[in-house]
């Protein structure tokens, strides 16, 4: 481990640029923290804090100079790996001939700066979806192989965070090239850097930074321990899959549906959702046609449409599909939960529906049902 002083943080940017990376990281746009191209450390959310709760998000500018005291915003790294819109191929008419050109653009060389532990887990989940099994997505594969990942350990959890429950944070344990923990005190401001790959080791060597002292590492560890104890939410997952499956037809789903707007916000901000639709479009002359893949959501009526109608026509069935897929059926498909505890779906739900509260509600329903069954059996 090495120490990088705040005054030397620009060296990291310089090295990444010299190695041909386009740096993508957190910055403030339209009163939210989003991921976009960065030119220098001053583009980061310097001194910015965020407040998050059900249906609420706001930023507060302070006079401090910390760089990573926010949590996560409405965008995720998914938008750079699993594109929101992708032209798969284009067909052009040339007299009696038809020329088809597949999408073959060069993948950008990105350095992701500021990836939280929960987001590393989300990227790992998408890797399972797109890179494992019989069918591999070549577009995702091409972009994914060109990424340098710099994780940031969370020392200040948000009001909607529950990564500790999902065992995905607040400390990044794997899936990164470099990880850093920010230590900010009035008299000290430095970063503890750790490598997680050979590429990371090479960059650390190029930084030529001093080795971290035991006291500095201990200070960073204490900050992470406090963070784990201050999560805004919790959602114990042991046995939750079976609880949801036992109560698939329970009327409480209708109670949730009365509040749900079916706006699809939760799926759009989710870092693991991967549903898409495909559309064929032509130009006005009819000489050029393209097949375009776009993000879609299980909350739209058309998503489950087959000949004769939609399989999930009611809002209740669509919310149930989303929650049971995340916390139950995802395990059947990919051997992992589809939720990483980032809390985005809670924050960006216009009516503040909280997946942790709904999971707790079903646990109570299950407890009462089992108690009643036990009483009847005796």
HEC profile of the chain:
CEEEEHHHCHHHHHHHHHCCCEEEEEEEECCEEEEEECCCHHHCCCCEEEEEECCEEEEEECCCCCCCCCCCCCCCCHHHHCCCEEEEEEEEEECCEEEEEECCCCCCCEEEEEECHHHHHHHHHHHHHHHCCCCCCHHHHHHHCCEEEEEECCCCCCCCCCHHHHCCCCCCCCCCCEEEEEEECCCCEEEEEEECCHHHHHHHHHHCCCECCHHHHHHHHHHHHHHHHCCCCCCCCCCHHHHHHHCCCCCHHHHHHHHCCCCCHHHHHCCCCCCEEEEEEECCCCCEEEEEEEECCCCCHHHHEECCEECCCCHHHHHHHHHHHHHHHHHHHHCCCCCCCCCHHHHCCCCCCCHHHHHHHHHHHHHHHHHHHHHHHC
> How high is the pLDDT of residue 103?
86
| Co-location of 153 and 262 in the same domain | no
Average of per-residue pLDDT across 49-74: 95
- Determine, yes or no, domain membership for 335: yes
- For residue 92, being part of any structural domain is answered with no
Confidence of residue 171 (pLDDT cuts 50, 70, 90): very high
Q: Is the pLDDT of residue 378 over 80?
A: no
Residue 96 pLDDT class (50, 70, 90 cuts)? confident
**Region 75-92: what's the mean pLDDT?**
96
Number of domains in the chain: 2
Question: 77: pLDDT confidence band, cut at 50, 70 and 90?
Answer: very high
**Average pLDDT rounded to a whole number, residues 228-253:** 93
Task: Give pLDDT, residue 366.
Answer: 95
- Reported as a single tens digit per residue, the pLDDT across 178-230 is 999 999 987 889 999 999 999 999 999 999 999 989 999 998 998 888 888 88
- Structure confidence at residue 231 as a pLDDT band (50, 70, 90): confident
Please report whether residue 7 resides in a domain. yes
Does residue 94 fall inside a structural domain? no
Of 229, 254, 285, which one is at a domain's C-terminal end? Answer: 229
Residue 99 lies in a domain: no
Range of the domain at 195: 2-84+107-229
**Does residue 245 sit in the same domain as residue 196?**
no
Rounded mean pLDDT, 349-375: 94
Would you place residue 139 in the very low, low, confident or very high pLDDT band (cuts 50, 70, 90)? very high
Residue range 23-39: mean pLDDT, rounded = 97
pLDDT of 354 reads 97
pTM of the model: 0.93
Q: Mean pLDDT for the chain?
A: 94
Indicate whether 293 pLDDT > 90. yes
198/302 same-domain check? no
Residue 133 and residue 206 share a domain: yes
């Amino acid at each position: 481990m090495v120490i990088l002083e705040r005054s030397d943080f620009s060296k990291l940017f310089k090295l990444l640029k010299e190695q041909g990376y386009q740096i993508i990281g957190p910055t403030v746009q339209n009163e939210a923290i989003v991921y976009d191209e960065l030119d220098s450390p001053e583009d980061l959310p310097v001194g910015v804090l965020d407040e998050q709760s059900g249906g609420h998000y706001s930023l507060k500018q302070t006079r401090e100079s910390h760089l990573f005291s926010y949590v996560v915003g409405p965008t995720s790294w998914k938008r750079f790996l699993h594109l929101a819109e992708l032209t798969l191929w284009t067909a052009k008419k040339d007299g009696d001939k038809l020329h088809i050109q597949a999408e073959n653009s060069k993948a950008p060389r990105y350095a992701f700066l500021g990836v939280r532990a929960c987001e590393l887990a989300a990227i790992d989940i998408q890797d399972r979806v797109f890179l494992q099994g019989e069918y591999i997505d070549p577009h995702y594969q091409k972009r994914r192989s060109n990424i340098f990942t710099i994780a940031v350990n969370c020392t200040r959890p948000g009001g909607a965070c529950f990564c500790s429950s999902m065992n995905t944070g607040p400390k990044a344990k794997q899936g990164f090239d470099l990880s850093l923990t920010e230590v900010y005190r009035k008299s000290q401001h430095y970063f503890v850097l750790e490598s997680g790959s050979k590429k990371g080791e090479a960059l650390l060597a190029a930084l030529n930074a001093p080795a971290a002292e035991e006291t500095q590492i201990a200070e960073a560890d204490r900050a992470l321990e406090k963070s784990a104890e201050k999560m805004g939410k919790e959602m114990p997952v042991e046995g939750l899959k079976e609880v949801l499956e036992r109560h698939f037809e329970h009327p409480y789903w209708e109670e949730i549906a009365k509040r749900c707007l079916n706006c699809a916000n939760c799926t759009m901000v989710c870092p693991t959702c991967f549903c898409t639709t495909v559309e064929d479009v032509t130009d006005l002359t009819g000489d050029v046609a393209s097949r375009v893949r776009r993000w879609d959501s299980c909350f739209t009526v058309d998503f489950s449409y087959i000949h004769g109608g939609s399989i999930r026509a009611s809002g209740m069935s669509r919310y149930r599909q989303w929650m049971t897929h995340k916390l139950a059926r995802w395990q059947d498909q990919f051997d992992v939960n589809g939720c990483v505890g980032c809390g985005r779906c809670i924050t960006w739900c216009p009516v503040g529906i909280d997946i942790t509260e709904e999971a707790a509600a079903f646990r109570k329903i299950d407890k009462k049902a089992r108690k009643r069954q036990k009483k009847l059996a005796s």
